[in-house]
A = this chain, B = another copy of it.
Amino acid sequence: MSAIVQNLKEKNASYASSFDKGHLALPPAKQYLVLTCMDARIDPASAFGIDLGDAHVIRNAGASARDALRSIVISEQLLGTKEILLVKHTGCGMLTFKNEDASDAVNELKSLDIDFLPFPQLETAVEEDVKFLKGTSLIPDDVPISGWVYEVETGKVRSVV
């Protein structure tokens, strides 16, 4: 057993021993979703104040709205989501990769028609992703969508759009 698997088993046994939330329903109680990055320095529940059962949390490389579209549509159309928070963050890998560093990954993804989706400027990327979500007919116009930056250096979120 790897140290990673051992850690999962031990920590989960401790978590389950005091678990008392087995009654929660499938649809998020507060009917919203948070889309953020897979970055290891982000703990959405703690940093964004999400109690268990309250919200969908979608995470991918760079908090890409395009990449998350399937999950967002399922959340909104089938599970009652009525508000979307999009949170990118400082120091994101998708900001810092140079194309030459990423070329192996980019080329392999391209071979499967998967877009790498890097972005050169953080606030602009938040604005563009919110605009993309507001522009798609897949999400009703009455679903509020806001864009945020989380600072991994300070633990603070700030509003962008």
Contacts and interface: CB of A to CB of B under 8 A. Distances in A.
A77 to B, nearest CB: 4
B57 A38 contact: yes
A40 B56 contact: yes
Contacts of A9: 157
A43 B108 CA distance: 32
Contacts of A83: 2, 4
A12 interface: yes
Tally of this chain's copies: 2
Given A12-B156, A154-B16, A155-B15, A38 B56 contact: yes
27 contacts: A4-B30, A7-B49, A12-B157, A14-B49, A15-B47, A15-B49, A16-B154, A24-B40, A24-B152, A26-B96, A27-B40, A40-B52, A40-B53, A43-B52, A45-B46, A58-B59, A60-B70, A60-B71, A61-B71, A67-B70, A69-B112, A70-B114, A73-B105, A74-B116, A77-B104, A77-B108, A78-B101
Interface of A: 2, 4-5, 7-16, 19, 21-22, 24, 26-30, 32-33, 38-41, 43, 45-49, 52-61, 67-71, 73-75, 77-79, 83, 85, 91, 93-94, 96-97, 101-102, 104-105, 108-109, 112, 114-117, 137-138, 144, 146, 148, 152-157
